[in-house]
Structure 1
């Protein structure tokens, strides 16, 4: 499940497990991009603490919060797994679906609860963000290359968009193709090839092993 800028795992009884960067780890552009692309601030410190969650304004890492705190005034959306390539490309914005199928609920909940207790490493907006946590919990897939963009559809969409307009082949443009058509084609191909469901630099990893390896790196 997700809101427009944060993705988490609903575990029942109105509780969501999600990954937050916490205060002091913002993108820092000073624009709406800070909230729209990778925002995950859990609560507003100027408001009274939530009677269920308490004060989450200084929390970071993997946390659990009530659905109201998770939404933070935003709208609720369902992140889709195992979609077809056609449906995947129909979603113009990244971070809304993946080609990778979801594992059974029991496996998903085990991963989410284990990571809540043991962490998911250091938050990184491009390699290890809230969408990365949710996708791992749902699929068990992890990127194993050190020099690589993360699992996040939000991050890979940004990279694909930049690549589309920087690397549009000149020969196609001079052959009569418009900048928009060429750029759109490269953008779509980039999104497909970078999705967790088709890329080659991923492996299925038990959550216990993932935590152990992450703690060694940190």
Structure 2
């Protein structure tokens, strides 16, 4: 009930109708009673390009929690006995994949990730992974990056804290990476975990939001725009 109330006043996330979706939108869906969200880029025609860990896992921690996650989230594309009529059977695919919107949502609700929000608005958000102060590039550039990375499966190895589905979607929207070594940095969700650890010591929710704000890629002085060709060398 509390989560639903927070949604209605816009502090937790931004629910969106399928009819309002536009190609190039960064979308997400909460999993496991708001424990984490899965992110992707909507490219139109009911298709979403997104980044997964593989082996049927959207995320992975390398701990016993993975068994809980995989048992509670439907596989993309169904399974061998009941494959998706649009996607086929995708449960063993990993890296960057293309799925229909239904498989991406996995029975969850649809939300729109916000770009170009003010620091003041950012600070009102009670959860990370719903917005950024960084501005989005035009939709055609966003879709081109997502499709290019899909073709090459070129976003590196999945890591829940350093290179995850939210990082992928934000890169497609902004082409921003951190520093000369092209580090993608931690996503808003991962920053929330780090901030929560600090808050446990400082006992201040506003301190948590401040940590997330100054970690946001739109606020970082070391964030630079990098083309797909530079991020992922062309494969022969």
User: CA RMSD of the aligned region, Å?
Assistant: 2.6
Unpaired runs of 5+ residues, structure 1, are 169-178
| 1:201 equivalent in structure 2 | 222
Matches for 1:1-218 after TM superposition, within 5 Å: 1-4=27-30, 5-23=37-55, 26-27=60-61, 28-30=63-65, 34=69, 42-45=76-79, 48-118=82-152, 119-144=154-179, 150-166=185-201, 168=202, 179=203, 183-212=204-233
Quote how far apart the aligned CAs of 1:164 are.
2.1
1:94-150 CA-to-partner distances (Å, cap 9, x unmatched) read 101101010001111111010001121110101100000000000110123669782
| 2:22 equivalent in structure 1 | none
Contact 2:132-2:217 within 8 A present in 1 as well: yes
Q: How many residue pairs align between the two structures?
A: 197
SS in 1 for 2:42: strand
For residues 187 and 95 of structure 1, the distance between their equivalents in structure 2, rounded to whole angstroms, comes to 13
For residues 129 and 32 of structure 1, the distance between their equivalents in structure 2, rounded to whole angstroms, comes to 18
More strand by share: 2
TM normalised by structure 1 equals 0.81
Aligned CA distance change for structure 1 residues 109 and 148 (closer, same or farther; 3 Å): closer
Unpaired runs of 5+ residues, structure 2, are 1-26, 31-36
